[in-house]
Structure 1
């Protein structure tokens, strides 16, 4: 059979050809033969290798559009006619086209993307932040901590009302605990500040070693030195492991990625110092700081059971505050312990912390593991 006869006998379809240079369509008849796509029309006579054609998936609604490697394209308004011709010609859509036309593939791709993004957020970002912070000198932590402290809103921190002798006793108790827990020269530098605050009973650490404890927290635990030592040891854990700087790196990376994805870099860096002043740490960072508190307390001979007092009292305070804020009517059932929490709590009582029950169990277990002094 001659080439002309073969071309006449081959299945064909009417379509519009666009050369990729002009918007004008050229009406052509398309057929496949010998690994080539032939296009014939008024002033058009082309042979395009099938390998250079990206075929549309069959079964989709609307027109069919095939793309050529040269930038040209072939469009057929009659999807059914195109599909019948493609099937008769033995044509298959490209893998990309088949994926785009399959809801299963699309759903799978979206699920894989979500899994990838989630994995990067949960494991990749913390790993990156550790690596970046390891390269940052401690002097940067100090500067960032200073800026963060200065950037806290007016009225958050007021001069302490604690008696000077009480402040001195608490400082001395914590200093002794740190000295017992670290080899001389290896303890992280820290500065302890007492403040009356509208934040309520709380404590938080800033990069560079500034640890803030509110008068309200001291009052909440009735001035118990062992509980104060435990809370401060927890905050020193944040300082030692540079959790504040790691959180800053993570927020910066997330902000940069969001800005790249959605635009608008405005305010990205301007808000970071303030963010450091009131952002909670991740649950993993909190568990790490709890571990540091346990270690320091055990080394200093202070029972970690003292932290249970803190958690129970801060929990009761938060529940009472949340219930009052909600305006519970007389006779309404009170929330279960730990059910309601003040969302704006900072530092050690922040809502991103592990559940109180988990932490209480850990400190109680650590207390049981301490050796009992002879004579008791």
Structure 2
């Protein structure tokens, strides 16, 4: 230890050599880029770069680790901090941030912003990316399985005359051909059923679409309204909303389980339910825009969908989302959707 080291501030510490449980009392000082330890049979100098310095916290002892497994313990945290500062050692960036409420507040705001961005755009983008690598045969397999399951519990054979069913299929087929004059329309199969779910229509992965007899009766067989509803469901098929919903639910569940622990708890399931509802509403808006595009290409006024919602409002008593919605998933308010179709009808 040279003259400059002797004038450097010293601190009494407990030294553990990593081999014995007994603490050795040493005097420590810092100088010439080295940590010098002297006392109780210990005499060594360690380069500062080989010392893992503890972060400064409000409570608890300070423990510094050496590269050979030894460690230094300072029961008096305040004395350690004063000694380190007097020796010219400064807190790292992380420690400085942790000790500043302004930095902590800014970090929390940044974290919340990143979470919001991931929720709003990141997760849907990731779901689209994953689905793009999933072969369409997977959609068909899942759709067929879901159709069989739903059919065994909620659906019954249709009571609509075959001639009416064929007329609606043909009207929709003609509309699709006009909307896709060069081909490229997604595959679809339309099934009519009596049901326990009332006036409804829904699309399953792979192109299976179901329309209930009750919905046909609700619109008094209005072919244009039926085509509009089916155009909406075809939008779900084309954008693979069903598969995206499965992927998003899986990703949301994984994130929630990491963030909140036990997935069975309500705190973990609530973000999944709320997140899926928000993504579903976005999917419904996309499908409504697709329906408008198809209807206009087929020469059908979007006002046909306004008539549909009017009939639904008479059935339910309001324009708010209900169990008698156009599909199983959560939807935007009916009033918002009606306004969209009215605006589309007024726009050339």
User: Under TM normalisation by the shorter chain, which class is it?
Assistant: 0.7 to 0.9
- Deviation digits for residues 161-180 of structure 1, max 9, x if unmatched? 33333323322222222222
User: 2:267 matched to which residue of 1?
Assistant: none
Question: C-alpha displacement at 1:236, in angstroms?
Answer: 0.7
Counterparts in 2 of 1:21 and 1:146: CA distance versus 1, 3 Å: farther
The counterpart of 1:364, out of the listed 293, 317, 342, is 342
The runs of 5 or more residues in structure 2 that have no matched partner are 265-272
Is the Cα–Cα contact under 8 Å of residues 235 and 286 in structure 2 kept in the other structure? yes
Question: C-alpha displacement at 1:280, in angstroms?
Answer: 8.9
Q: Answer with 356-365 or 307-316: which moved more.
A: 307-316
Question: C-alpha displacement at 1:294, in angstroms?
Answer: 0.9
Counterparts in 2 of 1:365 and 1:119: CA distance versus 1, 3 Å: same
User: 1:50 matched to which residue of 2?
Assistant: 48
- Deviation digits for residues 228-278 of structure 1, max 9, x if unmatched? 110100001111222222223333344455567778999xxxxxxxx9xx9
Is the Cα–Cα contact under 8 Å of residues 55 and 94 in structure 1 kept in the other structure? no
Question: C-alpha displacement at 1:304, in angstroms?
Answer: 0.3
Counterparts in 2 of 1:112 and 1:280: CA distance versus 1, 3 Å: closer
Is the Cα–Cα contact under 8 Å of residues 205 and 347 in structure 1 kept in the other structure? no
CA distance in 2, matches of 1:195, 1:309: 22
User: 2:116 matched to which residue of 1?
Assistant: 118
User: 1:350 matched to which residue of 2?
Assistant: 329
CA distance in 1, matches of 2:345, 2:178: 17
User: 1:183 matched to which residue of 2?
Assistant: 181
Question: C-alpha displacement at 1:103, in angstroms?
Answer: 4.2
Give the SS at the match of 2:60: coil
CA distance in 2, matches of 1:148, 1:120: 30
- Name the one with the larger helix percent: 2
The counterpart of 1:131, out of the listed 126, 129, 132, is 129
CA distance in 1, matches of 2:55, 2:22: 25
Is the Cα–Cα contact under 8 Å of residues 64 and 73 in structure 2 kept in the other structure? yes
- Deviation digits for residues 45-103 of structure 1, max 9, x if unmatched? 22222233343444612322233444433221112222222232222122233334444
TM normalised by structure 1 equals 0.77
What is the aligned residue count? 338
User: 2:295 matched to which residue of 1?
Assistant: 297
Question: C-alpha displacement at 1:355, in angstroms?
Answer: 3.3
CA distance in 1, matches of 2:168, 2:11: 89
The counterpart of 1:313, out of the listed 305, 311, 322, is 311
CA distance in 2, matches of 1:48, 1:190: 74
CA distance in 2, matches of 1:173, 1:61: 75
Q: How does 1:117-196 map to 2 (within 5 A)?
A: 117-152=115-150, 154-183=152-181, 185-196=183-194
TM normalised by structure 2 equals 0.83
Is the Cα–Cα contact under 8 Å of residues 56 and 95 in structure 2 kept in the other structure? no
Is structure 2 residue 232 aligned with structure 1 residue 238? no
Question: C-alpha displacement at 1:192, in angstroms?
Answer: 0.7
User: 1:84 matched to which residue of 2?
Assistant: 82
Is the Cα–Cα contact under 8 Å of residues 193 and 211 in structure 1 kept in the other structure? yes
Is structure 2 residue 79 aligned with structure 1 residue 75? no
Counterparts in 2 of 1:21 and 1:193: CA distance versus 1, 3 Å: farther
User: 2:217 matched to which residue of 1?
Assistant: 219
Is the Cα–Cα contact under 8 Å of residues 191 and 211 in structure 1 kept in the other structure? yes
User: 2:38 matched to which residue of 1?
Assistant: 40
CA distance in 2, matches of 1:181, 1:358: 25
CA distance in 2, matches of 1:66, 1:247: 50
CA distance in 2, matches of 1:264, 1:146: 33
User: 2:27 matched to which residue of 1?
Assistant: 29
Is the Cα–Cα contact under 8 Å of residues 155 and 197 in structure 1 kept in the other structure? no
User: 1:327 matched to which residue of 2?
Assistant: none
Counterparts in 2 of 1:307 and 1:258: CA distance versus 1, 3 Å: same
Is structure 2 residue 208 aligned with structure 1 residue 229? no
